[in-house]
Amino acid sequence: MPEYIKKVPSFFKRRIGELAETKSGRPSGVTLRAVLTGAVLVGVISVLSPWGILYVKGSQLTSSSIPIISVLFLLLLSGVVVPVLGAIKRRLAFSRSEVITVFSMMLVSAGITVSFTGQFLAILTGAMYYATPENNWDELFVGFQHAWLVPTDWDAVRYFYEGLPKHMAIPWDAWALPLASWMVLMLIIYWVVFCMGVLMRGQWMENERLLFPLMRLPMALIQDGENSRTFFSPLLRNKLMWLGFALPLLLHSWNSLSAYHAAFQRLPLTGSISLLQGQVGVPFRLNFPIIGIAFLMPLNISFSVWFFFVIGVIQRWIFTRIGLEIGAPDIWNSGGGLPAIMHQQAGGMVVLSLFVLWTARSHLRSLWQKALKGNQKGHNEVISPRTAVFGFLVGVFLIVIWLNQTGLSLYVVLLLVLGALIIYIGVARIVSEAGLPGVSSPMVPQAFIIRGFGPDVLGLQNMTALGLTTIWMGGGGVTKVMVSMLHTLKLKATEERADRRLPLVFLVAIVVAMAGSIIYTMNISYAHGGINMHRWFFEGAPKWPFNYMESVINHPEDTFSIRLLFTGIGGSFMALLLFLRQRFLWWPLHPIGFPIATTYTIVSYEWFALFTAWVLKGVILRYGGVRAYRFMVPFFLGLTLGEFFTACMWVFIDGAYGVEGNMIFNF
């Protein structure tokens, strides 16, 4: 073992030693070159992602549960790098397991670069920068923000939004303590959701055998490439895939060229559909990636999501017609829908999560017994049951302590953490089973806590600290990391045995992504001024929690009982759906469609694509059978891959030519 490794603590010494001393023959997936390659690509993503969305204002490269830039790099790796290395010398080519390791690092960490970092830095500074005599934020919030949580130097905050004067350095000293404090919390949270993923893996992958449709495309890109003479996967050699690939490439490229020359008139790929005799308009979007992914879903899932969406539209129309209101909207609603409908779906999400845990009770009890007895043999997990169970419990305890130190009362912390864990389980289950890349919870715990106790009981300290919790419980960043970890475990399940070095690989990827994206975002913000870049991240997100808190403080309302009633109605309806699905095999409605049916991404980007895929798949299965369906799968994978490639390509082209706002992919 190299001398420098001997100075490292024993746990990491064993892991690093294993990486450095991979035995000859067929290499393990977690090799030194795979980890280094993954770390470099994660570093590149941590720069390209904030550059693409904050500066170029183009497609969201990392916002979904399957980051499109990660898939692009996987395509380049499996379609260019591996074949070239294999042509030079067969042993030089990355093995299938190594490619999985590289992709796993990108998958787990990519969402951090904007979903977390993009809002994190802005929310830390939002109350101070946007405080005015009219909104009185100085007295309401700024005075209750601790110096170890937010930068307190006015010039450091102002220059973040307006740009530094010439020859002035970035004031890192003003940011050092807040950044360090939040990094500690985020690493603990990521550890907790990793342990949750390990605890649920066996139940979902082995007992219930969920499909994980999101991984069909990456697995097809990786499949058997190393065993062919050309090192290309069968998918990349399929002509039907390239036909599907060409469709979004040509259509979106034509529309993108309209920003460069008037001869290219935009094709209408988005619009609005009038329902109920023109009284309700709903947006639609010809969303190629969702059509491709939804084609792989079970028909009852794709049907249920768009069906419950239509029911939600009708319900909204009825509530509006009869004037039913249960109070002001909560800013933490997904997409700002009617509070009555959002509370119904929130109740459905809670019941779904509790049902998921109930069905896994035997599996979880077995893991608990192994953890208590110290029986670590006979498991096929990346960490032992004892480490997963007690790692989860210790992590949650540390989160509670950290949040309590921010000024949150203990009862608020406990409710917040419990609610967050319920949402993480529910969203992870929906993505794992349905494969939807853009899933968000209809509501988050902060709304229930604030409406339940009210500003008079909570006080300004709790209200201020709750506003800062939107950094990790509001933008979906943590749920994306948990979902990505679960899908990585699914990819790794194709290997013979679990690799105990995977937690260290995750840690490397997450640290590189956090450090790289924070450093780059700080640099471009101080160089160009945040207010001159993406409006949401430097105006919407910083004001978002504090505008809501201010409105609740200035306009208190006693509506929690009616809100809770609608939450209970939604929970009861979800319980009925779950009962019917368990009892009757013919029951057509899948329960997971209900809690997300009118959330922002479904309404704005996905419902029409789900409907389209449901129709196409149904027709193909009815008239062509399973054989025709399997024949068409590469075409639909090509639709997804083609839009991912096109969106990334035009971000780079637009950035080079100074064109802003060409957003092909956004969810």
Structural tokens at position 449: 């806590």
DSSP letters for 438-498: S---S--HHHHHHHHHHHHHHHHHHHHHHHHGGGTTTSSHHHHHHHHHHHHHHHHTTSSS-
pLDDT digits (tens, 9 = 90+) for 295-345: 999 999 999 999 999 999 999 999 988 989 898 888 766 666 789 999 999
Name which residue leads in pLDDT, 332 or 181. 181
Question: Would you state the torsion angle of the CA atoms of residues 507, 510, 516, 520, taken in this order, to the nearest 10 degrees?
Answer: -160
pLDDT higher than threshold 80 for residue 25: no
- Quick one: average pLDDT of 242-267? 95
Question: Is residue 61 within 8 Å of 67, Cβ to Cβ?
Answer: yes
**Which SS3 state, helix, strand or coil, does residue 419 take?**
helix
Q: For residue 667, what pLDDT is reported?
A: 73
| pLDDT band, very low/low/confident/very high, at 1 (cuts 50, 70, 90) | very low
Average pLDDT of the chain, as a whole number: 90
Torsional sign, CA 444, 449, 452, 455: negative
pLDDT higher than threshold 60 for residue 229: no
Q: What's the predicted TM-score (pTM) here?
A: 0.92
Q: For residue 12, what pLDDT is reported?
A: 47
**Which SS3 state, helix, strand or coil, does residue 534 take?**
coil
Q: For residue 596, what pLDDT is reported?
A: 94
Q: How many CB atoms lie within 10 A of CB 299?
A: 15
Three-state SS string across 332-370, please?
A: CCCCCCCHHHHHHHHHHHHHHHHHHHHHCHHHHHHHHHH
Question: Is residue 561 within 8 Å of 475, Cβ to Cβ?
Answer: no
Q: For residue 230, what pLDDT is reported?
A: 58
Query: Which positions ≥6 away from 30 have C-beta within 8 Å?
Result: 18, 19, 101, 499, 501, 502, 505
| pLDDT band, very low/low/confident/very high, at 611 (cuts 50, 70, 90) | very high
| pLDDT band, very low/low/confident/very high, at 5 (cuts 50, 70, 90) | very low
Q: For residue 497, what pLDDT is reported?
A: 67
Structural tokens at position 187: 């690493």
pLDDT higher than threshold 50 for residue 46: yes
Residue located via tokens 């101080």: 526
Range from 115-124, 147-156, 369-378, 502-511 carrying the lowest mean pLDDT:
369-378
| pLDDT band, very low/low/confident/very high, at 20 (cuts 50, 70, 90) | very low
pLDDT digits (tens, 9 = 90+) for 110-126: 989 988 998 999 999 99
Within its chain, how far is the Cα of 151 from the centroid? 27
- Quick one: average pLDDT of 504-525? 97
